[in-house]
Structures are given as C-alpha cells and as structure tokens.
Amino acid sequence: MRGKFVYSILTICLGITYIYTQPARQIPKFELGGDLNYLKPRQDYYHPGWGIQLHGVWNLSYRYGINLTYSSTVVDSMNDEGSSTFQLLMGILEMSFRAGDIVKPFTSLGVGKMFHEDDPLFIFGVGIKIPLTEKMLIRAEIKDLHSDLGIPFLSFPEGQAALSGRGYSKYFTFDIGIAILLGEKEVKRGRGTYRRH
C-alpha cells in the first residue's frame, strides 16, 4: 500500500515539474463547483447510484490544475440488503494539452480514497469545460478508478492524451455540474510580472 501511494505522488509531482515552462495565459485562480455524480461499482453485488459532488480546482497555469474533490453516492445492494453510501475523496492533477481553446478538454490523473476501503484508488479520467460566462462554466468528466497505478502516455504533436491503468477497474464515475470562477492569477514571464484578471 505504501509503495502504491509513493508511486502515485511521484507521478503527480512529475507532471507539476512542467508547469512553469508553459506560456502564460489569462486564467482564473480558483474554480469552485458542485456536480451531479453517477457511480457504477464494478463489483457484481451493487447497483449504480447517483449522488452529489463538490470540487475545488487551483489553476497553476492554463495547462495544469490541482483538483480536490469529495463525493457521496448512495448505491443499492443487488441482494436486497439495503443501500450503502460510498464516500470518496480525490486529489487530482488536471492536464490540458490544447492551449487557447475556448472549450477546454482535459485529462485527469490522481489518487483517491473510498472511506470504507483500506487501499488507495488510482484515477484516470477525461473531461471538458464549457464557459457560460466570464465567471461560470459547465464541467463534465468521466473517471475510471483502478486498484493499481497506471502509466500515462501522450501523443504529440496533435496534443492528445490517453491514460492506461494496470490492475483492474473498481469504479466508473460520470460527473456533470456548474463551477464558479474566482480570483485572478499573477503569472511571471521572463523578468516581468503580469497580472491576469
């Protein structure tokens, strides 16, 4: 368990090392939102269920952001043993490889923890952000939660990304919701400092 956790942290840190080599963009500093969450356990003894999700994203640059998410979903047992609440806490690195697009697709790589399980889960996902106004956007994402760490592989120069997981998939999630954009970002480029609104 400890080895898996260390590998996940190293993978996230590797992505963060590329942040400050990216060009400056006009970006909000924070993104806060709520989502409708669909959770499908891969186990045969649970039905899929719907729940709620809260997320906050700290945008480090246009291409990279740190996402902290909490979700709570009620699922029913297939054996008529009642329902269970699955609570999930996730720390995710969001990566976008198409700078300058109004509609922003992104790839997710992170680690999560189901409150009723001992071992961490490794998260691989893709999503899209669609702006409604300057301070609000629609966000949709699908994620696959694995029992073991996967290895990201990228396709250039097209700017596409894909993620492959080892082990086996334990949960599939689909989220859609609205986020509010807050704050402003100061970005350093060369020797100057630029304030982004």
Q: What is the pLDDT of residues 86-113, one digit of tens each?
A: 999 999 999 987 666 678 899 999 999 9
| Greater model confidence, 147 or 157 | 147
pLDDT of residue 189: 44
Does the pLDDT value for residue 180 go beyond 60?
yes
Does the pLDDT value for residue 2 go beyond 60?
no
Lowest-confidence pick of 5-19, 75-89, 150-164:
150-164
pLDDT tens-digit map of 60-76: 887 889 999 999 998 88
| Greater model confidence, 28 or 180 | 180
Tell me the mean pLDDT in the region 18-28. Answer: 52
Inter-CA distances, 4 with 15, 124, 150, 190, Å = 17, 15, 10, 38
| Greater model confidence, 170 or 81 | 170
Q: How many domains does the chain contain in total? A: 1
- Assign residue 163 the CATH number of its domain: 2.40.160.20
Domain that holds residue 95: 2-196
CA atoms within 13 A of residue 147's CA, in its CB half-sphere: 9
DSSP secondary structure letter of residue 25: -
Residues 6+ apart with CB under 8 A from 19: 60, 61, 63, 64
Cα angle 108, 114, 115 (rounded to 5 degrees) comes to 145
